[in-house]
Amino acid sequence: MSNTFRYALSAGYAHLAAWGDLLDRINVFPVADGDTGRNLIVTLSPLRHQERSIDSTIHDLLFQARGNSGNIASAFFQDFVRKGEQAFLEAVLRGRDCAWSAVPDPRPGTMLTFFDALADACRLTWNQETINDRLSCLAETVRRTVDQQDKLRQAGVVDAGALGMYLFFEGFFPVFLNANFSVSSMREKFGDFIQIDASYQGNMDHGYCIDAVYKGDLQKPDNFFSSLGESVITYREGDCLKVHFHTQDKDNARRRLASAGEVIYWSEDDLYAQTKEFNSPVRQGPIHIMTDAAGSLTRTEAKRKNITLLDSYIHINDLGFPETCLAADDLYKAMRTGIRVSTAQASRMERFCCYQRVMESHERVLYLCVGSVYTGNYQTVLDWKKDYDPQDRMTVIDTGAASGRLAVLALAAALFAEQASSPQEVIDFSQGAVDRAEECIFLDKLEYLAAGGRITKTGAFLGDLLGMKPVVTPAADGARKVGLCRARRDQEKFALKFLADKLKKDEKALILLEYSDNAPELEELLRTLQTKYPESHVMFVPLSLTSGAHMGPGTWAVAFLPL
């Protein structure tokens, strides 16, 4: 692939990823499970990597495809990536046909309808003069989906999958055609069709959303796969068949699939948990809280507290994943087996689009930014504000924090905002909280810090040889070493003394106990904290994967904020 085509794919992905939360919020068809954004981001993340070969990209698209939207998109992009540079129209037509053929019961008003419109549009001339008109026609196709499915009509929104593909190509074409790209307003294009009607209530669906890769008899009749469940999608790549479906009996479905061949990949989501979460009410305060995924705050918990997360990326070998969409088990397994792991920030384009997206959804935003010593996000958002926030509707605080300290600041701000009467109250509270929040991080081994160049390999070797486990705290000027421990029990004693020196037993505080791959080992400490601080809210949360990627398996931490 040429650099231009690679850059265009990467730009399309960045634009889509920035609006992922919006896609989740309007995802009511075919199931109101609020995961279209996540599924498309995970599925298409191979397109972000400009250095990968076509074969590797296509392989990863197959294995990473998630959900209805992700699998239909994967079917399209396999042919689009393979042929798009040499024969663009042919690639779009073949991708469109593959996407349609992957669905036994195709419906109008979906991503498939968008691919039809894209194929028609690509028969016309695209250049720097016509690009806006062509994109406007594609946007109109998306707007019309609201009337093409009953669930979309009831919710008053466009189809999330169709909008996702529009977002991708709105980012793709300006780079591909060497045209100017500007951060666009979804509200201007789609009006109220990107906000669910207040009266809408989705159904609670039971069962499981399954994604599997099957290797075996590819000549099985179509009704074999369609009998596995509902919302079936199937498509092939080489000697592998990707199968997506919804089922009430996942164990029986897996046995049936395994009886015909080898199941080499299996992923499942609980539809009841997802639809219940989607239908949970969200409290709105006078100002919306935004922070970075580098804090120890999961995508699910952020949704519950109505907090926007700006993703960073974890690279395992040469493939990167959005931090909030990567399974922690996959990260720590890779690290323990010696696979190369690194971290990266979202592209500047993705970050700009993310800021634009959150400002379109909220009148005022408080961005509790990861410490400027750790990433360039603080400078990037200031650059964005110069051109796109003339009314100063987004307030940015350089917290000097990361990991659990950043998470506790965001959670406390979100809770305070629920009861606050003005944006300034929340801003003042958060600025004061920055000085009161603290964290201690306990490392198991030094080798992972050495691998990232944060200490010398000799220092790591000697530390591990002597059994010394450092204790660090993230501060505004970087991570500081605050102690050394020889064993886990010593670490726990250090943590308890750390808290006892700062908190009274009857004092109210928000306390986070953070784990990496060692949750069972910390359950006794969790009970101890709950007993010692009965007036505090003690949460047991995963350590930020950015922190985990730097510090390694076995790491854990305690963060707190007096309230």
pLDDT in tens, 375-391: 999 999 999 999 999 99
The dihedrals phi and psi of 393, each to the nearest 5 degrees, come to -80, -20
Residue written as token pair 């590819």: 218
323: which DSSP letter?
A: G
Statement to judge: residues 26 and 133 lie in one domain? yes
pLDDT, average across residues 17-25: 93
pLDDT tens, residue by residue, 92-146? 999 999 999 999 889 899 999 999 999 999 999 998 899 999 999 999 999 999 9
- Which CATH number covers residue 236? 3.30.70.260
> What residues contact residue 183 under an 8 Å CB cut-off, 6+ apart?
352, 353, 356, 388
- Let me know if residue 203 belongs to a domain: no
Statement to judge: residues 212 and 111 lie in one domain? no
Statement to judge: residues 62 and 109 lie in one domain? yes
- Let me know if residue 266 belongs to a domain: yes
Statement to judge: residues 329 and 343 lie in one domain? yes
* Cα pseudo-dihedral 356, 362, 368, 373, rounded to 10: 10
The residue type of 539 is M
pLDDT over 50 at 159, yes or no: yes
Domain that holds residue 466: 438-562
Cβ distance 45 to 322 under 8 Å? yes
pLDDT, average across residues 472-497: 88
Statement to judge: residues 253 and 329 lie in one domain? no
Statement to judge: residues 247 and 395 lie in one domain? no
Whole-angstrom Cα distance, residue 374 to residue 399?
A: 11
- Let me know if residue 455 belongs to a domain: yes
Statement to judge: residues 141 and 236 lie in one domain? no
Classify residue 268 by burial, with Cβ atoms within 10 Å: 0-12, 13-18, 19+.
middle
pLDDT, average across residues 57-70: 92
Residue 258: CA atoms inside 13 Å, Cβ hemisphere, count? 10
- Using left for φ > 0, alpha for ψ between -120 and 50, and beta otherwise, residue 61 falls in alpha
For the question of whether the overall pTM of this predicted structure is more than 0.85, the answer is yes
Please report the pLDDT score of residue 321 as a whole number.
87
At which of 410, 435, 460 does a domain end?
Answer: 435
- Let me know if residue 213 belongs to a domain: yes
Bridge partners of residue 270, in order along the sequence? 208
Classify residue 340 by burial, with Cβ atoms within 10 Å: 0-12, 13-18, 19+.
exposed
Please report the pLDDT score of residue 457 as a whole number.
41
- Let me know if residue 485 belongs to a domain: yes
- Let me know if residue 288 belongs to a domain: yes
- The mean pLDDT value of the chain amounts to 90
Task: Identify which of 451, 467, 450 has the alpha carbon closest to the alpha carbon of residue 459.
Answer: 450
pLDDT tens, residue by residue, 319-366? 888 999 999 999 999 999 999 899 999 999 999 999 999 999 899 999
Cβ distance 313 to 323 under 8 Å? yes
Annotate 516-551 with DSSP letters as a single string: SS-GGGGHHHHHHHHHH-TTSEEEEEEPPHHHHHHH
Confidence of residue 240 (pLDDT cuts 50, 70, 90): confident
pLDDT over 50 at 459, yes or no: no
Classify residue 321 by burial, with Cβ atoms within 10 Å: 0-12, 13-18, 19+.
buried
- Which CATH number covers residue 450? 3.30.1180.10
- Which CATH number covers residue 116? 1.25.40.340
Domain count of the chain? 4
Statement to judge: residues 380 and 480 lie in one domain? no
Please report the pLDDT score of residue 429 as a whole number.
97
- Let me know if residue 23 belongs to a domain: yes
Cβ distance 114 to 169 under 8 Å? no
Whole-angstrom Cα distance, residue 373 to residue 131?
A: 40
Cβ distance 369 to 399 under 8 Å? yes
- The secondary structure of the chain in percent helix, strand, coil, rounded to multiples of 5, reads 50, 20, 30
Cβ distance 510 to 536 under 8 Å? yes
pLDDT over 70 at 466, yes or no: no
pLDDT tens, residue by residue, 173-226? 999 999 887 777 888 899 999 999 888 887 778 899 999 998 876 666 667 888
At which of 411, 435, 459 does a domain end?
Answer: 435
- Which CATH number covers residue 357? 3.40.50.10170
Statement to judge: residues 294 and 420 lie in one domain? yes
Please report the pLDDT score of residue 451 as a whole number.
53
- Let me know if residue 265 belongs to a domain: yes
Statement to judge: residues 251 and 110 lie in one domain? no
Compute the Cα dihedral for 299, 300, 302, 308 and give only its sign.
positive
Statement to judge: residues 469 and 520 lie in one domain? yes
β-pairing verdict for 537-542 and 509-515: parallel
pLDDT tens, residue by residue, 507-556? 899 999 999 999 999 999 999 999 999 999 999 999 999 999 999 999 99
At which of 388, 418, 435 does a domain end?
Answer: 435
Statement to judge: residues 40 and 143 lie in one domain? yes
Bridge partners of residue 344, in order along the sequence? 313
